[in-house]
Amino acid sequence: MENNSLKGKCILITGGTGSFGNALIEYLFKLKTKPRRVVVFSRDELKQFEMQKKYSSKNYLNLRFFLGDVRDKERLRSALKGVDVVIHAAALKQVPTAEYNPIEYIKTNILGAQNIIEECIDSNVSRVIALSTDKASSPVNLYGATKLCSDKLFVSANNIKGKKNIRFSVVRYGNVFGSRGSVAPTFSKIEKKGTYFITDPDMTRFNITLKKSIEMVLWTIKNMEGGEIFVPKIPSYNIMQLVKAFNPNAKVKNIGIRAGEKLHEEMISINEAINTVELKEYYAILNGYSKLKPKYKKIKYVKNGFYYNSGKNSNFLNIKELQKLIKSELK
């Protein structure tokens, strides 16, 4: 998918050394209309060093690395000089860890988000896209609560930008299949006669591939009005179906749901649905700012009582589809 809106632009990716950042860089540098410059902003010097070796060829001459933390406003200010588009992927994400280290998650996921907002406004950035998670809808854990707060900060930032030509929107999607921290890579390392540890056999999750998540972000850059939380129409899977996709004769042990974990994830709650419109490939949860845009006045809202839950999804992946995903995504 070509995106001419990126031609000649400088893009900064916070948390750019993760699974998403690596995949996005490869995707961007394959485009015919390449960005002018891509900046990876992260606090992990080892991962930056490894990425510099990986992307050292002449095909990545416009790639830059900037060591820093979203908690540090001065460092952000330096990194944002000349930047047109910010994709905010930096976050602390592990659900159980958040339950025991809440203040650290607040510092990065909430205060770091506010730092991004303030410095982007002052630096004349034109587009800011914050990556969110299904755990931000009706959160039951600390991580989800920090991401909900982050989402609110970004959509509300459109109200404080003044006359600056900048738009803030959020992309909220489910588990990225095969990404660091997801269950699929863990299952792939279990030997044939090994035991698969699950937290509940009825557990379901939304599923999206890295490629689809990247395409969604690039679509958002091109189509955002500001103030939306975009949600993709994606399939779900049951955890036991995933186990069988790896090994039909697997030994399974149920260890019980972990602290802060949900049985089913939700991307649009019944209360959020009141402000949700349906697009071709996505839903858009609107706020007061985006509701005023002429574009959305012509689009119908979802029906009363609608909610988007991984356990009630009309599209579930079967074992064969999951096996195909395993082959394509776990390289």
Q: Which of 135, 147, 244, 262 is catalytic?
A: 135
Tokens of 79: 């990194």
CA distances from 297 to 170, 247, 275, 276, 285 (A): 20, 49, 12, 12, 13
Per the CB < 8 A criterion, the answer to whether 21 and 52 are in contact is: no
Alpha carbon distance 274, 264 (integer Å): 21
CA distances from 211 to 23, 27, 102 (A): 8, 8, 31
Burial class of residue 143 in the structure, from the number of CB atoms within 10 Å of its CB (0-12 exposed, 13-18 middle, 19+ buried): buried
DSSP for 147-167, written as a single string: HHHHHHHHHHGGGS-TT---E
φ and ψ at residue 213, rounded to 5 degrees: -65, -40
Which one-letter amino acid corresponds to residue 46?
A: L
DSSP for 210-241, written as a single string: HHHHHHHHHHHHHH--SS-EEEE---EEEHHH
CA distances from 108 to 80, 121, 151, 311 (A): 18, 19, 13, 30
DSSP assigned state of 316: B
CA angle centred on 288, ends 280 and 163, rounded to 5°:
105
Alpha carbon distance 197, 59 (integer Å): 42
Question: Is residue 135 annotated as a catalytic residue, yes or no?
Answer: yes
Neighbours of 284 (CB within 10 A): 23
Residue 66 CA from chain centroid, whole number: 21
Tokens of 217: 């972000």
Tokens of 80: 């944002």
Known catalytic residues?
Answer: 135
